Structures are given as structure tokens and as C-alpha cells.
Amino acid sequence: MGQSWDVKRLAGTLGAEVTGIRLAEIGAEETDAVKALLSQHKVLLFPDQHLSPDEHVALGQKFGELEGAHPNLAKPGMPSPHIFELKATEGGIADEWHTDLTFTEHPPLMSILNMVACPEAGGDTMWTDLIAAYNDLSEPMQEMLDGLTALHDARPHGNRDAMAIHPVVRVHPTTGEKALYVNEHFTRRIVEMNPFESEALLAFLTRWVQNPRFTVRLHWTEGAIGMWDNRVTQHFVINDFIGERVIQRVTVLGDDPQGAGAPRWRPWTERATISATSHWDAQLYRFLRDRDSKQAAE
């Protein structure tokens, strides 16, 4: 790590502020040091960076291949196809807890956010540590969750047909730690449970991860860079401000989410009988049918 860097933890479980570093100028060795800090702290804040769009994209490329335009919410006129801009005045306030894009097969590995314009007060972002949230569950709950999967969709983006199934407990590929991988924004259904069990369990889990003791809250200043490991965190923008808030984000393409083990039970829809409650299963049934017919055609 660079000799002059100062790393200050921002909460008990996750988050650190790094100063004494100029992100526009880091080489391979320093990039590796930032990656190690990100694995350890999961969320990093670098104040006073003031990166140009080109520098922002170049920084992202040091961490992996970047995503192109957002799958559902892309806008024209961006300085680079890799930059996704969110403006509060155009509805860009992500005030529901989520891991980014979990309705895709390969949700992003990490994102790097450039704070372009801040409101006078408010507009902080919170993150929650999904590894800490998993570790604080009881052993019987952990053991059950290890064998489950969940269906995610892009309903908040107006696209219910964009769906993916992921393990409920995801293993971090670098650290081997287990993280609770369901979120209130995109996760719709526990695949192996009946719809009423699924609803109750998801309500509990998505609320559990919001416990303040798993979280950190970042206060933004213009020119700050924030980065987070999207595999083991969720985030939430606090919608408490008046005025403009503009962020630009680059996103590193994700890997294949690995579970703690193979799913231990078959999907509920394979054993459900047709009844008046079957409409609750329609989305899951449709996803599995389409996936199976696609696999059969391959």
C-alpha cells in the first residue's frame, strides 16, 4: 500500500475513508492494494478526487471489464457509454435497499461512483454488510438458507420479464465468506418454498439486513469517489434532500454467483397442485419452464 495513504474505518462492520491517494494516478501495485482494501472494508470513500469522465472510466478499467449502457435505464448524451448518470431531479433516487442488478445472470462485481453535484444537506448513501448479516443468523437458519435459491426480477425498472435465479447465500470468490444475497428491491421468491413461506422468509431477511449495526452511512462531498463490492453489500440513498444530486457511475462486470452448495430441494412448482393459489406461482413457473426449454434446445 502507498506509504502516505491514511485508512480510517467509518463503522463497526464495513466502510473506510482513504486519503493521501490520487486515484487518477494509481498503477498496478496500488490498484491491487485498493482491491485488498475493498475486500476488507467492502465500501471505500475517497474524498477530493475530482476525476474527469475519462479518468473515471480509466480507473474502473483497472478493476475489470466495464459494463456498457444500463440494461433498463440507459440515457443518451453521456460522456462515455460506460458512464451511467443518475440525477435526483429525473427520478434517480435509489431509496430502496438493493444490490445492483440482481435480476441479471451476472450482477456487477463492483461500482465506482463519482459525486458530481451534491445537495446542500442530505442525500447520504447507506450500505449494509451482507456477510455480517449472514454471520449473525442462528445456525439452523444459516443451514436452511445455504440450500435455497431465489428468483429476482426487474419490476422496479418496469421490466418483470428480466429475471434470474441466484443462491440465497452467496460465497465471496476471494475471501470465501458467505453473504445473504436477497434484497427487497429485486428479490421476489424463494424457489424451493411455497409462496406464503417465501413471502414471510423474504420479509424477515430483507428487513434483517437493514439492522443499523450492519450498516455504514457515507456523507458525500463534490469530487468524492465511492466504490463498493456489489457481491456482499446492499445500498440505499437517503431521500431527504431538496435540490440537485448528480452522480456518475462506472460498473465492473460481474462473475457467476456461487452458492454455499447445490440447492438441496426441488423448486416448489414441481410439486404444487393446481389450485386457486397457483397464481402466486405463475412467475416462477414461467421462468423455470423458459429456462428448461432453452437448456433443452442448447
Shorter beta-carbon distance to Fe ion: residue 94 or 141: 94
Tally helices (H) and strands (E) across the chain: 6, 15
Q: Is 152 a known active-site residue? A: no
Compare residues 112 and 201 and give the one whose CB is closer to Fe ion. 112
Q: Is 136 a catalytic residue?
A: no
Q: Are 160 and 72 in contact (CB under 8 A)?
A: no
User: Which of 186, 229, 180 is CA-nearest to residue 209?
Assistant: 180
Which residue is associated with the grid cell 466504490?
227
Q: Does 229 bind Fe ion (CB under 5 A)?
A: no
CB 111 within 8 A of CB 230: yes
Q: Does 85 bind Fe ion (CB under 5 A)?
A: no
**Site track 96-115 with Fe ion (rule: CB under 5 A), x = hit:** ----x---------------
Half-sphere exposure (Cβ direction) of 134: Cα atoms closer than 13 Å:
23
Sorted by sequence, the CB contacts under 8 Å of residue 44 that are 6+ apart come out as: 15, 16, 17, 18, 34, 37, 38, 226, 227, 228
Q: Which string of DSSP letters, residue by residue, matches 124-150?
A: -EEEEEHHHHHHTS-HHHHHHHHT-EE
**Cβ closer to Fe ion: 214 or 268?**
214
Q: Looking at 29-37, 94-102, 169-177, 212-220, which segment touches Fe ion (CB under 5 A)?
A: 94-102
Q: How far, in Å, CA of 85 to CA of 250, rounded?
A: 9
Active-site annotation holds for 98:
yes
Q: Catalytic one among 146, 231, 249, 281?
A: 249
If one asks whether residue 94 binds Fe ion (CB under 5 A), the answer comes out as yes
Amino acid of residue 30: E
Identify the active-site residue in 82, 100, 185, 189: 100
- Cell triple for 213: 449495526
Size of the site for Fe ion (CB under 5 A): 2
Cβ proximity to Fe ion: between 46 and 236 the closer is: 236
Least distance from Fe ion to the Cβ atom of residue 249, Å = 8
Residue 249 appears among annotated catalytic residues: yes
Provide the binding-site residues for Fe ion, judged by CB under 5 A. 94, 100
* Catalytic sites, residue numbers: 98, 100, 235, 249
